[in-house]
Amino acid sequence: MKNNAKLSLLALSLALGTSMAYASDDIPVVPASVMKKDVPAPVTSGQSSHEVVGSMNENPLLTMKPGVNQIIPIAVGHPNRIVTPFSNPEIVSTSLTGATDNGATDNGQCGEVCIKENVVYVATDKQYPVTMFITEKGSEAQALSLTMVPRRIPPREVFLKLDGGVGITGAFSNTKAETWEQSQPYVETIRSVFRKIALGEVPQGYTLNRIPAGAAVPSCAHPGVKVDFSKGQYMMGHHLNVFIGVALNVSDQPIEFKEALCGSWDVAAVTTWPLNVLEPGQKTEIYVAKKQKRGLAPTSKRPSLLGGAQ
């Protein structure tokens, strides 16, 4: 009985050895050089995510084209401010929580995405790129695509501008600002805007931001007065946008500020506060209200018959 068991085990071992030998003959040996060819290098624990994504756009003012994805860096673990060209932006994302219902979670708190008026706040601890589409709520006519790569950097503020000459605040109306502006005559609206700004208030529906890099600031050619918007503010409404800067008397005599010297085809009104007459070395705030450009970006352009010549 024991001999039969030994014979069976011996036969089984021979069969297994034979099958393994056949298997080793069927599978060719691959050289190490072939195994390493065209294989991307592994991401090590000390390697950050942005090093394997590709080139990114670090400009604080982005010109967006519908359907074209922009890759930008954001701060990991801190809120990042995305100023959109939509009055009521809506977010679609599968990699960020709280991307719908204004970013509110079940307990009413903001998730990784929080929407306030035309601004989208993104705060995530993820170590890999996250994506989102931004549209005007209730409209799918324009969709802006962003890929955000978390980095260990300070919080960022990014302004999105639609391609085709559309203004910074976008092609879509700011409903609250529009209602407030149209509740009174045009001239009275401008006076009210200037009055509220002078009192340190923000007009209803307007949003206050820093002047974004690359924005076309007003030009004031005033003799003896230096007008500076480099550290200014930008008040965004529906029909009007207001640039807020500083005017400094750099001459050796008193100067009365002449608002007409800041005029342009798109300037609605100009004023200064609290001073209109500046002594040497004195400065005052200057408010320049510009008419808001509005309308969807053109889908196509007609070529000129002059071939670019004027």
Q: Which residues of 219-232 are buried (b: 16+ CB within 10 A; e: fewer)?
A: ebebeebebebeeb
- 68 phi, psi to nearest 5 deg: -105, 120
Nearest to 177 by CA among 237, 222, 98: 237
**Going residue by residue through the chain (310 aa), what tens digit of pLDDT does each one get?**
555 555 555 555 555 455 544 444 555 665 655 555 555 454 443 444 445 445 789 999 898 887 789 999 999 999 999 998 887 899 999 989 876 555 555 555 678 999 998 899 999 999 999 999 998 888 787 889 999 999 999 999 999 887 754 444 444 556 778 888 999 999 999 999 999 999 999 888 888 888 877 788 999 999 999 999 999 999 888 889 999 999 999 999 999 999 999 988 899 999 999 999 999 999 999 999 999 865 444 445 567 777 655 4
Task: Report the pLDDT value the prediction gives residue 167, as an integer from 0 to 100.
Answer: 42
For the stretch 222-227, contacts whose Cβ atoms lie closer than 8 Å and that sit 24 or more positions apart, written own/partner, are 222/247, 222/255, 222/257, 222/258, 222/261, 222/262, 223/251, 223/255, 224/249, 224/250, 224/251, 224/253, 224/255, 225/249, 225/250, 225/251, 225/255, 225/257, 225/278, 226/250, 227/262, 227/286
* CA-based radius of gyration for the chain: 31
Give the per-residue pLDDT at 112: 93
Angstrom distance (rounded) from CA 134 to CA 155: 20
> CA 76 to CA 149: how far, in whole Å?
9
pTM, rounded to two decimals: 0.52
CB 249 within 8 Å of CB 279:
yes
295, 169 in Cβ contact below 8 A? no
Give the chain's domains with CATH numbers. Answer: 50-162 (2.60.40), 175-291 (no CATH)
Q: What was the pLDDT predicted at 44? A: 42
Joined together, the tokens standing for residue 60 give 């604080």
